[in-house]
């Protein structure tokens, strides 16, 4: 048997036209566009069209897409019942989202139809409804009424509106939209791989997305921004209590954490060995967001803590090239837009659904069952013993 590639590191699974990561150059291309060119300009709906059809939509196509998404945002009562059940059971947001995404099958107009047209209808329904599922669950969990979407609002603004019940400030809506575009697709990450594996068995789109949500839930993938923000708050609090400088407390905190074997959340990446280019895009968004509204001090403190953390990582993990990843600035942007940390990973899922679906469509078009092998290290030649003889 050939050598083992633990974590499938360095293995090229297939070809894609969706995104390319240059881990040493620190560049990300999304369907032909550098991420810094596309993300701050495009609407999320335009990015969906770009990924699924490999070109930006014309004005008529975009209007039609927005209209279809607006209609699909209205949740059927059976799905809303499922959301209520997850809130009653006090499921945390990612568990609730995984459960209610599966429950979208309750309102599938063409169950069992795996043809291309039915799959595209389901793709639109998934994109339209994931933010509604997250927002409705969050409000019910906190004893508030569900807020219906507004047809005239775009994807990002609607999400914020359904969460708060108020029209979001334009800078917050734009900030979240840029975030959604920035993280919509990213090569063969764990959740995208999961979606591809499920699709490769010729299973259906909803199963692929439910599986991908499960993979995204883990802290090594999509769960990092909440803890990254906790670290910033923790260090600030310690500095306020001790009277020491923020830099000194950041140094002590990060050293202690790494010495105890912990990982600094928002740092390190399997592919990027230089600064994650998405961190730069979101750094600019955070800078703008905290200029107008929010707590400017928090942004400045976070940047100071990042600097110290990078210095400590270089010192304690020499040669490992652990740099800032997208999650550090995700935390700042989403916090600045008024989202609670518990919704950071679900918001990531809302964005990545666009990329997951694009990969599912690619996988369906040129399918080959994904079926790696393992090297057996277990016992051999055992002989069967009757239960009475086993002691």
Catalytic residues: 269, 327
The three-class DSSP label of residue 98 is helix
Given a contact cutoff of 8 angstroms between Cβ atoms, the answer to whether 303 and 125 are in contact is no
> Which CB atom, from 9 or from 152, has the smaller least distance to ligand COA?
9
Alpha-carbon distance of 324 to 307, in angstroms, equals 9
Q: How far is the CB of 94 from ligand COA (least distance, A)?
A: 15
Alpha-carbon distance of 76 to 56, in angstroms, equals 30
CB neighbours (10 Å) of residue 270?
A: 15
Q: How far is the CB of 257 from ligand COA (least distance, A)?
A: 8
Q: How far is the CB of 385 from ligand COA (least distance, A)?
A: 41
Stretch that binds ligand COA, among 159-167, 282-290, 321-329, 352-360 (CB under 6 A): 321-329
Among 86, 325, 345, 363, binds ligand COA (CB under 6 A): 325
| DSSP symbol at 7 | G
Q: Is 264 in the site for ligand COA (CB under 6 A)?
A: yes
Alpha-carbon distance of 211 to 131, in angstroms, equals 18
Alpha-carbon distance of 135 to 161, in angstroms, equals 9
Among 265, 286, 308, 361, binds ligand COA (CB under 6 A): 265
Stretch that binds ligand COA, among 48-56, 99-107, 229-237, 257-265 (CB under 6 A): 257-265
Nearest C-alpha neighbor of 22 from the set 40, 37, 38, 34:
34
Among 84, 255, 270, 364, binds ligand COA (CB under 6 A): 270
Q: Is 266 in the site for ligand COA (CB under 6 A)?
A: yes
Given a contact cutoff of 8 angstroms between Cβ atoms, the answer to whether 251 and 308 are in contact is yes
Number of residues that bind ligand COA (CB under 6 A): 17
Sequence-ordered list of residues with C-beta below 8 angstroms from that of 346, at least 6 positions apart, any chain: 93, 94, 97, 134
Stretch that binds ligand COA, among 153-161, 164-172, 258-266, 370-378 (CB under 6 A): 258-266
**63-100 core/surface letters (b: 16 or more CB in 10 A; e: else):** eebbebbbebbebbeebbebbebbbeeebebbbbbbbb
Given a contact cutoff of 8 angstroms between Cβ atoms, the answer to whether 198 and 184 are in contact is no
Q: How far is the CB of 10 from ligand COA (least distance, A)?
A: 11
Among 216, 326, 339, 343, binds ligand COA (CB under 6 A): 326
Given a contact cutoff of 8 angstroms between Cβ atoms, the answer to whether 122 and 154 are in contact is no
Among 269, 335, 352, 359, binds ligand COA (CB under 6 A): 269
Given a contact cutoff of 8 angstroms between Cβ atoms, the answer to whether 122 and 205 are in contact is yes
The contact pattern for ligand COA, residues 18-57, with x = CB under 6 A and - = no contact, is: ----------------------------------------
> Which CB atom, from 149 or from 268, has the smaller least distance to ligand COA?
268
Q: Is 327 in the site for ligand COA (CB under 6 A)?
A: yes
> Which residue has 């609090």 as its token pair?
237
Q: How far is the CB of 288 from ligand COA (least distance, A)?
A: 22
Given a contact cutoff of 8 angstroms between Cβ atoms, the answer to whether 130 and 44 are in contact is no
Residues 205-224 that bind ligand COA (CB under 6 A): 220, 224
Q: Is 192 in the site for ligand COA (CB under 6 A)?
A: no
Among 267, 299, 344, 348, binds ligand COA (CB under 6 A): 267
Using CB under 6 A as the criterion, which residues of the chain lie in contact with ligand COA when the complex forms? 220, 224, 258, 263-270, 317, 320, 322, 325-327
């Amino acid at each position: 048997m050939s050598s083992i590639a633990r974590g499938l590191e360095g293995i090229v699974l297939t070809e894609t036209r969706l995104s390319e990561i240059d881990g040493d150059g620190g560049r990300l291309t999304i369907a032909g566009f550098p991420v810094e060119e596309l993300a701050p300009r495009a609407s999320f709906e335009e990015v969906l069209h770009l990924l699924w059809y490999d070109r930006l939509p014309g004005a008529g196509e975009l209007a039609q897409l927005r209209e279809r998404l607006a209609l699909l945002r209205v949740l059927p009562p059976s799905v809303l019942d499922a959301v209520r059940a997850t809130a009653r059971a006090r499921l945390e947001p990612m568990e609730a989202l995984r459960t209610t995404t599966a429950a979208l099958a309750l309102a599938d107009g063409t169950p069992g139809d795996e043809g291309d047209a039915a799959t595209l209808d389901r793709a639109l329904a998934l994109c339209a409804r994931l933010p509604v599922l997250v927002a409705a669950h969050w409000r019910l969990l906190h004893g508030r009424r569900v807020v219906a979407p507004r047809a005239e609002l775009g994807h990002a603004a609607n999400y914020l509106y359904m969460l708060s019940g108020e029209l979001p400030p334009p800078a917050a809506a734009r900030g979240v939209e840029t975030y959604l575009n920035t993280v919509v697709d990213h090569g063969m990450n764990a959740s995208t791989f999961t979606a591809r594996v499920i699709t490769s068995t010729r299973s259906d789109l909803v199963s692929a997305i439910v599986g991908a949500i499960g993979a995204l839930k883990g802290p090594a993938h999509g769960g990092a921004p909440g803890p990254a923000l906790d670290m910033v708050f923790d260090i600030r609090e310690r500095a306020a209590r001790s009277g020491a400088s923020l830099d000194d407390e950041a140094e002590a905190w990060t050293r202690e954490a790494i010495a105890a074997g912990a990982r600094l959340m928002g740092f390190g990446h399997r592919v990027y060995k230089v600064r994650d280019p998405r961190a730069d895009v979101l750094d600019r968004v955070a800078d703008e967001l905290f200029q107008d509204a929010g707590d400017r001090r928090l942004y400045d403190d976070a940047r100071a803590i990042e600097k110290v953390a990078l210095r400590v990582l270089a010192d304690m993990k020499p040669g490992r090239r652990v740099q800032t990843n997208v999650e550090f600035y995700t935390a700042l942007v989403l916090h600045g837009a008024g989202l609670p940390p518990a919704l950071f990973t679900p918001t990531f899922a809302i964005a990545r659904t666009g990329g997951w679906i694009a990969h599912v469509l690619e996988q369906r078009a040129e399918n080959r069952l994904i079926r790696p092998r393992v090297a057996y290290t277990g016992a051999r030649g055992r002989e069967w013993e009757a239960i009475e003889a086993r002691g």
